[in-house]
Amino acid sequence: MPVTQIRSALRLAISLASLLLPTITIAQSAPPVDLTRWFQMGNSEVDNQANSAVTSQSLGMSDIILALDAGRKLKVAIDSAIATRAITEMTAASSQFETLKTKFKGRPIDRGTIEGYGAVKQYDALVVMITSNGYKAPGDWASYISLLQEIDKRVMSDLDFLMKPQSRMDVMKSVFFDLIAQKIILENIGAISGYITISMQ
């Protein structure tokens, strides 16, 4: 499969994934949640730091799409300059997450709270998605942060691979689609992260 076809498939899959995300019916008794904020632990300082890390992560993922599109115009797998910027942003996100790991040590994810918001089916689907992609499902605050760092690390590894001259198209194709998987996982995490973090309050 030519690089241009792989890239087109990548963009199409990402677009379709955003349309296929399951919807959530919120229980009327549940308090409102601002789903634009991934972290809602009830500590404004920690929440702001964590959401700042998410912003860096999101910028990195956006730059990946730009890097792929620029690469198409340059007739290469990916634009190295933009990809390098994406790696810098993902690295910054991971570093910010690292400082937060011990903030709420031992606080478990409470499935019952998530169920109270009517989001348990989406949460269960997310757990399946996470584990089927080789990650361990998070059970508490520290492992939830670690999951986000592991995804960042995998994305950066994929980018590093694509920036190097490659001859095996089958391997390059696999890496392209791994990037799709990581983006879809992050989109699904972001859709209910507010509920997940509230459950750890």
Are 26 and 182 contacting, i.e. CB atoms less than 8 angstroms apart? Answer: no
Task: Answer yes or no: is 148 within a domain.
Answer: yes
Helix 3-20 crosses helix 44-74 at what angle (to 10 degrees)?
150
Task: Answer yes or no: is 33 within a domain.
Answer: no
Residue 57's pLDDT is what? 94
Q: Which residue has the higher pLDDT, 141 or 172?
A: 141
Cα 144 from Cα 89, distance rounded (Å): 20
| pLDDT (mean) for 57-86 | 90
Task: Answer yes or no: is 78 within a domain.
Answer: yes
Model confidence at 12: pLDDT above 70: no
Reduced to 3 DSSP states, what percent helix, strand and coil does the chain have, rounded to the nearest 5?
70, 0, 30
Q: Measure the CA angle with vertex 196, ends 52 and 117; round to 5°.
A: 125
Dump pLDDT digits (tens) for 117-139.
989 999 999 999 999 999 999 99
Cα 119 from Cα 59, distance rounded (Å): 26
Q: How many structural domains is the chain composed of?
A: 1
Task: Answer yes or no: is 144 within a domain.
Answer: yes
Are 140 and 107 contacting, i.e. CB atoms less than 8 angstroms apart? Answer: yes
If pLDDT is split at 50, 70 and 90, which confidence band does 24 have?
A: very low
Model confidence at 9: pLDDT above 60: no
Structure tokens that stand for 118 in this block: 């009517």
Cα 178 from Cα 182, distance rounded (Å): 6
- Report pTM: 0.83
Q: What percent of the chain has pLDDT over 90?
A: 56
Among candidate residues 99, 186, 192, 124, the one with its CA nearest the CA of residue 151: 186
Q: What percent of the chain has pLDDT over 70?
A: 83
Amino acid at 54: V
If pLDDT is split at 50, 70 and 90, which confidence band does 7 have?
A: low
Adjacent-strand bridge partners of 10: none
Q: Measure the CA angle with vertex 148, ends 191 and 176; round to 5°.
A: 85
Dump pLDDT digits (tens) for 160-184.
988 887 757 778 888 888 888 898 9
Residue 8's pLDDT is what? 54
Dump pLDDT digits (tens) for 32-67.
677 788 999 989 999 999 999 999 999 999 999 899
Tell me the pLDDT of the chain averaged across its residues: 84
| pLDDT (mean) for 81-89 | 94
Task: Answer yes or no: is 119 within a domain.
Answer: yes
Task: Answer yes or no: is 61 within a domain.
Answer: yes
Domain that holds residue 120: 3-14+38-198
Residue 172's pLDDT is what? 80
Task: Answer yes or no: is 29 within a domain.
Answer: no
Among candidate residues 28, 53, 29, the one with its CA nearest the CA of residue 39: 53
Task: Answer yes or no: is 28 within a domain.
Answer: no
Residues 6+ apart with CB under 8 A from 116: 27, 29, 30
Structure tokens that stand for 152 in this block: 């960042």
Residue 164's pLDDT is what? 84
